[in-house]
Amino acid sequence: MGHLGQERAPIYEALEVFRGERIVPFDVPGHKRGQGNPELTKLLGKQCVSIDVNSMKALDNLCHPVSVIREAEELAADAFGAAYAFLMVGGTTSSVQSMVLAVCKKGDKIILPRNVHRSVINALVLCGAIPIYVNPDMDSRLGIALGMKLSQVERTVSEHPDAVAVLVNNPTYYGICSDLRSIVALAHRHGMKVLVDEAHGTHFYFGADMPVSAMSAGADMASVSMHKSGGSLTQSSFLLTGPDMNPGYVRQIINLTQTTSASYLLLASLDISRRNLALRGRQEFAKVTALAEYARKEIGAIGGYYAYASELINGDSIFDFDRTKLTINTLGIGLAGIEVYDLLRDEYDIQMELGDIANVLAYISIGDRERDTERLIGALEEIKRKYGRSNADMYAQEYIEPRVAVSPQSAFYAEKESLPLMETRGRICSEFVMCYPPGIPILAPGEEITDAILEYIVYAKEKGCSMTGPEDAGIERLNVLREEWMT
């Protein structure tokens, strides 16, 4: 924590002043403080629609902040220990893309793990950079990809000394952390920038006994999904930078894709949530950790489930673990994670964050209460009793090493044709295929379609995973590069 008084929330304060001024609106948005859309006002409430306003002098402008938004950014940078902080209203997707676009141009190499969020590869489609993948180890029992081994990064850096940046997931969706300090030091010795997708790590900056945060580790940029564990409104995020990034240039990059009509509801939620965590985050996240640890113990006592945590730490591919993550492997009761996910939602009115082939994830954060956790534990116990079966022939594989044939940008814009799914073997995909969440591509543009990939897609569809990405919503067909384009 820095030296500014974190009690301030300048955007929120300016909106409160504005609310009392009774300004007559001849600007956008067209609902005019809710007067023109009574159904919307009924849904959201007068308090909300009355401050759904556009940029004006008193409220500053996100594209070029000079007053209250600028103050909010300075307070955020201070709270997160960053040189600069940018308020983002396009989700952490926008933050991640801005990071990549800020350091990469067409033809540049960027070193990254393949289990990145689709937003990273989307950024490569936009800028034309070339991915150099560090293929993570797999935990075949849990069905999850692990972190980046330092030795793997060292080898990749030595093989590609002309790469401009290294991107790290920290933590992964499942709570796995890499040796971030060492990766940062290695990359910087070779003149490379370090970008951190910290979408699931807001609490690292405010809780005690947490894995190291990106800014503390010396990273150059980090994308922090404040709406996930930080409590702000959905779609609000921070982009943090270290002292060696040019803030003016980063702002220009952000403005290439971010809206010029920023939602003040999102901006105010970032401002208020930053203040909340700066003042009360330590005690709040201590409660979150304790609740997750309690749930792990009780779920483990049921038998069959495995709610994993810090015991996985090996100092390498699992350098550290985010103990607030309550990820539960379900294969021991003979059910895929997505099957347990669906049962919890359909039979018990419990909405989990994620269900994949082998796991379900309960996202424990500052809004959770013990009574709700008890309800989850009880439901899991009943699901095992009522639906548990033999776990023979359960499929656990989550990460499949890609065969990259052409760059994502080249593949995305190439001449293509649509083929039935099972006729695409050996062809080069021109679109994404993924389960969402977590949004990690099974296939990305430019990658060869293999038997293992087709087997995984078919199995995931059969189990009911939410599949997204291709033009064909049913994933019965895939777009592939025309063979003559490859010659």
How many angstroms separate the CA atoms of 35 and 47, rounded?
13
Position 89 scores a pLDDT of 97
Find the angle CA(175)-CA(180)-CA(181) to the nearest 5 degrees: 145
What is the predicted pLDDT for the residue at 186?
A: 98
How high is the pLDDT of residue 3? Answer: 61
Residue 407 makes CB contacts below 8 A (sequence gap 6+) with 124, 128, 129, 130, 131, 446
Quote the CA–CA distance of 403 and 424 in Å, as a whole number.
Answer: 14
Name 325's bridge partners.
363
pLDDT value of position 398: 58
Listed as ranges, residues in the chain with pLDDT below 70 are 1-3, 396-399, 484-487
Note the pLDDT tens digit of each residue in 329-351: 999 999 999 999 999 999 999 99
Predicted TM-score (pTM) of this structure: 0.94
Distance CA 364, CA 291 (A): 8
Contact (Cβ atoms closer than 8 angstroms) between residue 317 and residue 137: yes
The predicted structure's pLDDT at residue 402? 86
Per-residue pLDDT of 57-70, as tens digits, reads: 999 999 999 999 99
Token pair for 145: 């990809």
Strand segments, DSSP code E, in 208-305 are 221-224, 237-241
Q: Give the CA angle between residues 303, 308, 310 to the nearest 5°.
A: 135
Cite the DSSP H helix spans in 140-263: 150-159, 180-189, 226-229, 247-257
State the pLDDT at residue 428: 96
Longest dimension (CA), the chain: 68
Q: Which two tokens stand for residue 25?
A: 């609106």
Measured distance CA(118)–CA(122) in Å, rounded: 6
Which two three-digit tokens encode residue 241? 């930078």
What totals of helices (H) and strands (E) does the chain contain, helices first?
16, 20
pLDDT of residue 462: 86
Helix (H, G, I), strand (E, B), or coil: what is residue 241? strand
Partner residues linked to 132 by β-bridges: 111
Residues 403, 418: contact at Cβ < 8 Å? no
Report pLDDT for 349. 98
What's the pLDDT at 427? 96
Between CA 95 and CA 89 the distance in angstroms is 9
Omega cis (within 30) before 437: yes
- Classified as helix, coil or strand, 363 is strand
Q: Give the ranges where 322-442 is alpha helix by DSSP (H).
A: 337-348, 370-387, 408-413
Q: b or e along 427-443 (b: 16 or more beta carbons within 10 Å of the residue's beta carbon)? A: bbbbbbbbbbbbbbbbb
